[in-house]
Amino acid sequence: MKHIGKARAYTNIALIKYWGKKDEQLILPMNSSLSLTLDAFYTETEVTFDPALSQDCFYLNDRLQNKEQTKKISKFLTIFRNKYSISHYASVDSRNFVPTAAGLASSASGLAALAGACSAALSLELSPQELSKLARRGSGSACRSIFGGFAEWRKGDSDDTSFAVQVPASSWENELSMLFILVNDTQKDVSSRDGMKRTVDTSIFYQGWLTGAADDLELAKQAIAENNFSALGEVAESNALRMHGTTLGAVPPFTYWSPDSLKAMNLVRSCRMRGIPCYFTMDAGPNVKVLVQKKDQEKLYHFFSEHFNEKQLILANTGPGLEILKPERLMDND
């Protein structure tokens, strides 16, 4: 019998970053992190466990992916199969909803949607906590995309104790927005996985990062509890800068910044001087994301549109958590 499930998950952007693994197999992080889920980018995934298949296959936006591209998905499916005793291979049909083709496809939304679809296929009815643990095994940041709004990934120290939880914000999160600035980049990518490994293994700044991250998390949670936008923005911006600082102390050193990333960061500072409170963050790539209050999002957009073209700017609002969807294929068509 075939087992089919479908789910949608939205991407999240960390305000306090996850940067470094304590256990690479289980994906246990060195530090706890905190993110905001956003509505502009999401992944829908349908998974079919099918006794007729002789290997896993992975379609992304209708294109069959090669062996290398299927590896991460297959590894996740194997973890799932072992944990929930199902022997069939699966066909995974994923669609990334990203406003432009700008390299924003995210492993967070992708792996969270896959975890949700697998659980739905077997009618497991897992709790958000169990889904978060499962998604974490695919990609660390995916464990936070199970939740809408703010999520805290508590690092834990074992497979069972490392998962994300909702951070209550009494709907304040709905007053927040993020402007994505997609900058031009000519550099070769260092994936977040490789980048964080290199900094943990070699960066002389890594210990400093860890000490700071624990304090930053407390400050961020306090800012959320008090609905204090500038306090949250300030700690998010300095946390991102410290994370990026570790890459310069790695061997060999590297950076995710491009000249346009620096231009965008400087413009954020100019915006603040003009009285628009806004703060930047960056992940394992050159794009810059700007946290702003919804009431100021138009002003911020207008300011940036004088420096970047329309295709480079995407506004997002706070997004929801994992959604289980009705599969498109019929359940009884085996």
Residues that bind ligand DP6 (CB under 6 A): 14, 17-18, 27, 33, 107, 139-141, 192-193, 283-284
Nearest distance, CB of residue 78 and ligand DP6, angstroms: 16
Alpha carbon of 274 to those of 228, 269, 303: distances in Å? 20, 9, 10
* Nearest alpha carbon to residue 12 among 290, 324, 319: 319
310 half-sphere exposure, CB direction, 13 A CA radius: 0
What is the C-alpha separation between 8 and 45, in angstroms, rounded?
6
- Cβ proximity to ligand DP6: between 119 and 239 the closer is 239
Smallest distance, ligand DP6 to C-beta of residue 46, A: 22
Closer residue to ligand DP6 in complex, CB, 18/150: 18
State in angstroms the smallest separation of the CB of 231 from ligand DP6. 20
CA separation, residue 132 to residues 36, 54, 84, 135, 151 (Å): 15, 29, 16, 5, 11
Residue 249, class by beta-carbon neighbours within 10 Å (0-12 exposed, 13-18 middle, 19+ buried)? middle
Rg, C-alpha atoms of the chain: 20
Query: Are β-strands 89-97 and 28-29 bridged in parallel, bridged antiparallel, or unpaired?
Result: unpaired
Cross-strand partners of 95:
44
Buried b or exposed e, range 286-316, using 16+ CB within 10 angstroms? bbbbbbbbeebbeebbebbeeebeeebbbbb
User: Residue 188 to residues 73, 154, 257, 285: CA-CA distances in angstroms?
Assistant: 23, 32, 11, 10
CA distance to 5, 75, 177, 314, per residue, from 41 (Å): 21, 24, 13, 10
Kindly report the number of other CB atoms within 10 A of residue 258's CB atom. 18
Which lies closer to ligand DP6 via its Cβ, residue 24 or residue 334? 24
Quote the least distance from Cβ 224 to ligand DP6, whole Å: 16
Q: How far is the CB of 210 from ligand DP6 (least distance, A)?
A: 14
Residue nearest to ligand DP6 according to CB distances in the complex: 140
- In angstroms, give the least distance from the CB of 32 to ligand DP6: 10
Q: Which is nearer to ligand DP6, 14 or 292 (CB)?
A: 14
Looking at the Cβ atoms of 200 and 276, the one nearer to ligand DP6 is: 200
Alpha-carbon distance of 109 to 145, in angstroms, equals: 6
CB nearer ligand DP6, residue 4 or residue 185: 185
Q: Let me know: does 116 contact 131? Beta carbons within 8 Å.
A: yes
The minimum distance between CB 115 and ligand DP6, in angstroms, equals 13
Residue closer to ligand DP6 (CB basis): 193 or 307: 193
Length of the chain counted residue by residue: 334
Task: Report the nearest approach of ligand DP6 to the CB of residue 207 (Å).
Answer: 18
Distance of closest approach, residue 216 Cβ to ligand DP6, in angstroms: 12
What's the token pair of residue 66? 């090669």
**Nearer Cβ to ligand DP6 (48/203):** 203
Cβ-based nearer residue to ligand DP6, 283 or 327: 283
